[in-house]
Structure 1
Amino acid sequence: MENFFDNRRILEMIWKRKFHFVIIGLIAIVLSAIFSGPAFITPKYKSTARIYPSNIWTMSNESETEQMLEVLNSNDIKFRMFDAFDLDQVYKINKEDPNYITYMLDAYNTNVSVNKTEYETAEIKVMDYEPNRAANMCDSIIHFYNQKVREIHKAKDKEMVDLSMKSLTKKKEELKGLESSLDSLREATGIISFSRQVPELTRGYVTALANGRGNSADTKKIEKLYDNFSETGSQAMILENKFNRTASTIDSLTDIYERYLVEYEKDITYSHIVEYPFAADKKSYPVRWLIVMLSTVSAVFVGLLVFLVLDYKKA
């Protein structure tokens, strides 16, 4: 056994059986070339796309690109791809199989990959038996990504639209009630605006008294209005201030509501396409020269081991 892997002995044996090794190598080359051909291995074509994220907000410590990868690799997009391209037929998986989802995800993940590049782009690679379908699948993944992110944003914006509208409706009802109370108070007391009328009323009353018209009909009206201000002026002032604050709040809520409504109604994309996919004109799988080389090396190595064993037994 000590001489089994003796270098000199191995070299002598290789030289002695060189024609055998040549024949083994040629047979391996021919057979591997045949069995790696399209008759035995269906060729696949690769399509690639690169995209940058845009118009999105980060929800955690992840970068925008990492968040994009989360969506691109989500099962939701994968299931949409299954239906859009009838991938169960492409991958030859029966929908009635109890492990259908598992097999489909395995096949999809084998043929489709989405990864981050060193330049923070998301790279989508699709391998398929048809070059046009591979390119279309790349396009569809980007389309479904934009659709998915739009749904997420719209759901959040719709929630904010509904909340702001609810607050706005509540404040408008409150303003309507304050307006009704003010109208009743104005009709009963003649107080139109406490802050504006008080200075004018005081000035008019003092002027009437100074001019000796204290018993005139106009002065009596002023006195009555003055008494009303004394009795209900504070209430009128509180209602006015509350009315003004509520009106100001309504203006702010209206701005918020309109902003969220604009966000909800706009239709935008959430990716910049850096590299568009195209239908490849050359297959990417299998790499026949690599298969032939590995098969030939393996066959020759196995032959070497066999000849070494035979030579050892003879010795």
Structure 2
Amino acid sequence: MTASSINPIDRLLATGYGAVLVNPRGRFPRILGRDGVGTVMATGSAVSHLRVGQRVMLAVSPRRDGTYAEQVTIPGACACALGETMTDDAAAVVGYAGSTAVQALRAADLDPVRARGRRLLIHGASGGLGTIAVQMAAGWGAQVTAVCSTRNHAWLKELGASRTMDYEEARGLQTLPADSVIDFATPASEGGDRRHDPLLAALQRTDGRRVYATVITPTLGLVTRHGLLPGLLRAGADLAWRKASASLNGVRYRQVLFREESEALARLVDFFSKAQAQSVVQRVLAAPALPTEFSESTAPRIPGKTLVHLFPR
């Protein structure tokens, strides 16, 4: 492994949050790190799309040990070969967040074929997920409205957003300038408790195909508070209620959880290998800084992604 990044899920895992689901046997030590870039040292007999010596982009589930290591063993679906035009630093930060972003875009019926001319609002657009999704959706031809803090508006315009607005303005909308919404914003990032979702309410009053996709799910919190089975039952009931309530108002509601998927990684490699793609790296750390980084009580509020240099070539 040459480099990786910091994802919000790693900070949660470091506190034990969701351990009953992602580490049910209580096995320690656990290795953090959800993504990165490295070189293939060996392959299993069933792996045909990779070969020894190739540089690869990685993205692994929170259920697995992670990428803050010199060497990792992962399923073939967690890796995708890189071409010569994509640098290690660019590849290291987009695997996990980018795969989730691609899966969220797909849930909102957006891909390189279906995105052109679509009107999309991305809530929480300045984080790792949002900065990747804004670029990809805009690059595919969608008209993107980016909701984020005012200080990040200029950067989001550079990344391809057609329009920007802050969280307060978005919460006050009666109808939306888009017929599809992807929500990447945690309650803390926008100052709300999410018990009432004004964007979903506004989407229900907006004409169009009306799709609402969110990566904000209560599952880890519920299993942490109530235990595995009761927590999963509560999460399932919550999702069923939200989908049914939205459907009654003509909105397709979809929750998105990261899945290990080589197709999503391949789409990221294809997009970010192009000259017009912009880096989402806003901060760089060396591996020795990680213990201090994860011991801080609060995460630094920065846009984009934090790159971590592990064992540079």
Q: TM-score, normalised by structure 2?
A: 0.20
Flag the structure with more relative contact order, 1 or 2, with Cα contacts below 8 A and sequence separation at least 6.
1
Task: Select the structure that is richer in helix.
Answer: 1
Pair member with larger Rg: 1
Task: Select the structure that is richer in strand.
Answer: 2
